[in-house]
Structure 1
Amino acid sequence: MFDLLLFTIVLCLALFLFIIVLGENLYSLMIEEQVNYLRLIVSYAALPLPRDTGLLPEPVQRYLSFAGAGTCASAESVRMKYHGKARYGKKGRWLVLGGECAFSIAVPGFWWRATLAYLPGVWLDRFDYYVDHRAGMNLNLFSLIPLSNINNSEIVSPALFRYLSCTPLFPMVHAHCTFIQWHPVDNTAARAVITDGTVSAEALVRFDERGWMESMNCIHESSTTNGQPAPGLVSCLYSSYFDFNGYRIPEVTEAEFILPDGERFEAEYILDSIDFEPCITKIHGDGA
């Protein structure tokens, strides 16, 4: 009787582990599809020419000078690893997280993966992307059980804002790409508009007297067909700037999201590593 019980327990554990491994492999295939697609787009995208930054609002010019964006060469893409913490709601329990992400520079595009330790031995996998005008937000338990997956047109604009909110990590995009336009507000703020095809997103960006980009807030939170706020990032705070390859970029980013169920989600990301993929020789575009 004991042997049968032990065999049943071992069999259940083996089956559970097999399902976890299978789910992880299927999840990885889904991620790899978007990663490869973004890499393909980057390889064919025309390199943007340097733009006339003298026409930008004064706070933006101050930021570009501080960040070194106008003095260093551009790049094709950037890839990062990070760690941090996150919580659901204002009073939720902080969860440890870690992950990696990548952004294209010639055209708006990114993928973002995070693993959250929910309980010992229990983790959540999050994978978000914006590739070729399509966006997705995926949250799975054990990389296998879908908890909240959405990939419709309602999150395209929020995903585009998320790309914009991450540009302090690769500031050369503001000196080379005209798909981000700036409009003056005052001597400490400017309005940024990012456009990709027929979709756009707007943000109010604040700077300090040194040139630091301090914060970015979505001006018009997108709405779903039922009038609820569309899921996605809505605000960011940047701090702990440091020098890297001639640029000044923030080490710490605090972000606030709206989840598909309407709940607020807060996260703090601390940069572990960053790698700029250099440009290869190919035809330049107009930066649009």
Structure 2
Amino acid sequence: MKIVALAFLGLVVLALAVTGAKAWQVARGNARIEAGLAASAPTPVRDDLPDAVRTFAERGMLGADPGGVVHLSQAAEMQRDPNGDWMALTARQVIGTRVAGFAWTATMRAGPVPVVRVLDSYADGRGILDVRLFGAWRLDAFEGDEAAVAEAARYLAELPWSPDAILLNRALVWTPVEEGVEVALETPGGTARVTLHFDAASDIVRMTAANRPAVQPDGTMRPMTWEGRYSEYREIGGRRIPVASEVGYIHDTGFAPYFRGRTLDYSVSASAPN
């Protein structure tokens, strides 16, 4: 029994050591993404936005000047499939404002032990989803052209958290449609498109995206209608943003969220002068 206990302890120590090393590698990767987003050339505020979009963004700025990179943290829960258990997580994210890009890192713990780590990112036209057990053993991976479109769509869907990007990112193509305003972004894998829906108070309360590539429980991919919902707008970190959100897909039985989260901390780094 003593030998078994020592062997188990050795495995735990090894797992924690590998986790620490992988966490360090992920941190370095995120730092590179963030540095790339922050180093992008300054751009002037756009003067060609649809009225509803400009009104939303300007109200979200609270009179401040646009910044370079958004930083936020979340407490959330995720579900791997509609019939699975919900798993609590904490996450940190950086979002580009002048160029399209983000890096979202999440950790799911069992007590003090970080059991699952997730990296979700889009940078330089490349989308990545990487899910690892103890930060080392890969559970899921998603790359390539479909990932580029899917992750670029996530960047577009999270514009309610970044009024700075609405005002500064000139790669975004805005088109008023009957349901709201569509925003599109070209990627190496094709065009990502998201429709933003406004309420009577001119807040973005919902986004939809038809035919977004979605990973299925069996590991295959198929296009599905994607939907996000935003609520509880308030001032945090110098911006007015929604602090509550949920995201999911439209199934035969209707909307089924796989993510529910709250923004805890928020800030925008200073931008270089134009």
* TM-score interval, smaller chain: 0.7 to 0.9
**Mapping 1:42-57, distance limit 5 Å:** 42-52=37-47, 55-57=48-50
State, as a whole percentage, how many aligned pairs show the same letter. 18
Distance (Å, rounded) in 1 between the aligned partners of 2:110 and 2:32: 31
Q: Which has the larger radius of gyration?
A: 1
Distance (Å, rounded) in 2 between the aligned partners of 1:123 and 1:112: 17
**Mapping 1:139-288, distance limit 5 Å:** 139-186=131-178, 189-196=180-187, 199-222=190-213, 228-229=221-222, 234-256=226-248, 266-281=258-273, 284=274
Distance (Å, rounded) in 1 between the aligned partners of 2:176 and 2:102: 27
Name structure 2 gaps, 5 residues minimum: 251-255
- In structure 2, what is the equivalent of residue 135 of structure 1? 127
- The structure 2 residue matched to 1:107, chosen from 92, 99, 105, is 99
- In structure 2, what is the equivalent of residue 261 of structure 1? none
TM-score by length of 2: 0.85
Residue identity in the other structure for 2:108: L
TM-score by length of 1: 0.81
RMSD across aligned positions (CA): 2.8
Distance (Å, rounded) in 1 between the aligned partners of 2:114 and 2:203: 38
Distance (Å, rounded) in 1 between the aligned partners of 2:116 and 2:13: 18
Distance (Å, rounded) in 2 between the aligned partners of 1:118 and 1:94: 13
Distance of aligned partners of 1:196 and 1:77 in 2 relative to their CA distance in 1, 3 Å threshold: farther
CA contact under 8 A between 1:34 and 1:111: conserved in structure 2?
no
- The structure 2 residue matched to 1:14, chosen from 9, 16, 23, is 9
Distance (Å, rounded) in 1 between the aligned partners of 2:169 and 2:142: 29
Aligned residues: 265
- The structure 2 residue matched to 1:60, chosen from 49, 53, 75, is 53
- In structure 1, what is the equivalent of residue 253 of structure 2? none
Distance (Å, rounded) in 2 between the aligned partners of 1:28 and 1:162: 23
Larger RCO (CA under 8 A, 6+ residues apart)? 1
TM-superposed deviation, 1:265? 6.6
Residue identity in the other structure for 1:157: V
Residue identity in the other structure for 2:137: I
Residue identity in the other structure for 2:33: L
- In structure 1, what is the equivalent of residue 19 of structure 2? 24
* SS of 1:278 mapped into structure 2: coil
1:10-39 per-position Cα deviation (integer Å, ceiling 9, x unaligned): 321332122212321332243134213213
